[in-house]
Chain A
Amino acid sequence: MIETRQLTKRFGGVTAVDDLTFTVLPGRVTGFLGPNGAGKSTTLRMVLGLNAPTSGTATIDGRPFRLEGAGLRRVGALLDAGDVHRGRSAQAHLAALARSNGIGRGRVAEVLGEVGLSDVARRRVGGFSLGMRQRLGIAAALLGDPPVLIFDEPINGLDPEGIRWARELFRRLAADGRTVFVSSHLMSEVEHTVDHLIVIGGGRLIADEPLGSFAARATRHSVKVRTDDPRRLSAALTEAGGEVTTDGTGSLSVIGLNTSRVGEIAFANRIMVYEVAAESGALEAAFMELTAASVEFRAGQAQ
Chain B
Amino acid sequence: MTDLCGAEWIKLWSLRSTPIGLGLAVALALYLAGSNSMHGTLLRSGSMGPIDPIRAAFDGPSWVLPMIGTGMIGAQSMVGEYASGLIRTTLIAVPGRRRVVAAKVLVIAAVMAATALLAAVGGLALAVATANGDSRGRSLTDSASASASLHAIEASVLLLPVCALIGMAVGTLLRHAAATGFTVCALLGFGPLLLRPDGNRWATDVANVMPYYAWGRLTSAGPGAGSTVTAGVAWCILAAWAALSIVITTVVLNRRDV
Contact = CB atoms under 8 A, between A and B. Distances in A.
A79 B7 contact: no
Given A85-B15, A87-B15, A89-B14, A100 B94 contact: yes
Given A48-B92, A100-B94, A95 B10 contact: yes
B16 interface: yes
Given A45-B257, A87-B15, A79 B92 contact: yes
Interface residues of A, number: 36
Nearest to A75: B92
A85 B86 contact: yes
A52 B94 contact: no
Contacts of A70: 3, 93-94
B127 to A, nearest CB: 35
Contacts of B10: 92, 95-96, 99
A102 interface: yes
A172 interface: no
Contact of B84 (A45, A67, A83, A97): A83
A71 B8 CA distance: 16
A97 B95 contact: no
A83 B93 contact: no
A69 B7 CA distance: 15
A2 to B, nearest CB: 14
B226 interface: no
Interface string A6-19: 00000000000000
A264 interface: no
A36 interface: no
Q: Which of B90, B92, B103 has the most CB of A within 10 A?
A: B92
Contact of A69 (B14, B89, B96): B96
B85 A83 contact: yes
A71 B95 contact: yes
Nearest to B12: A96
Contacts of A82: 84-85
A96 B7 contact: yes
Interface in A87-105: 87-89, 92-93, 95-97, 99-102
Interface string B71-86: 0000000001100111
B94 A101 contact: yes
A32 interface: no
A75 to B, nearest CB: 7
Contact of B3 (A66, A83, A102): A102
Interface string B4-26: 10111011001111000000000
Contacts of A236: none
A215 interface: no
Residue of A66, A95, A97, A102 with highest tally of chain B CB at under 10 A = A97
A86 interface: yes
B44 interface: no
Contact of B91 (A49, A89, A140): A49
B184 to A, nearest CB: 19
A80 interface: yes
A158 interface: no
A77 interface: yes
A149 to B, nearest CB: 12
Given A92-B14, A140-B89, A84 B84 contact: yes
Interface in A109-162: 140
Given A45-B257, A69-B99, A83-B86, A77 B92 contact: yes
A93 B14 CA distance: 8
Given A83-B88, A86-B84, A100 B258 contact: no
B40 to A, nearest CB: 40
Contacts of B6: 99-100
A51 interface: yes
A49 B17 contact: no
A68 interface: yes
A235 interface: no
Interface of B: 3-4, 6-8, 10-11, 14-17, 80-81, 84-96, 99, 103, 257-258
The 7 closest A-B pairs by CB, nearest first: A92-B14, A100-B7, A83-B85, A99-B7, A51-B257, A96-B10, A99-B6
Given A65-B95, A88-B11, 10 more contacts: A70-B3, A71-B95, A72-B92, A79-B89, A87-B80, A88-B14, A95-B14, A97-B7, A100-B103, A102-B3
28 contacts: A45-B258, A48-B88, A49-B95, A50-B92, A66-B95, A67-B95, A68-B95, A69-B96, A70-B3, A70-B93, A70-B94, A71-B94, A72-B93, A75-B92, A83-B86, A83-B87, A84-B89, A85-B81, A87-B15, A92-B10, A92-B14, A93-B14, A96-B8, A97-B90, A99-B3, A101-B93, A140-B89, A140-B93
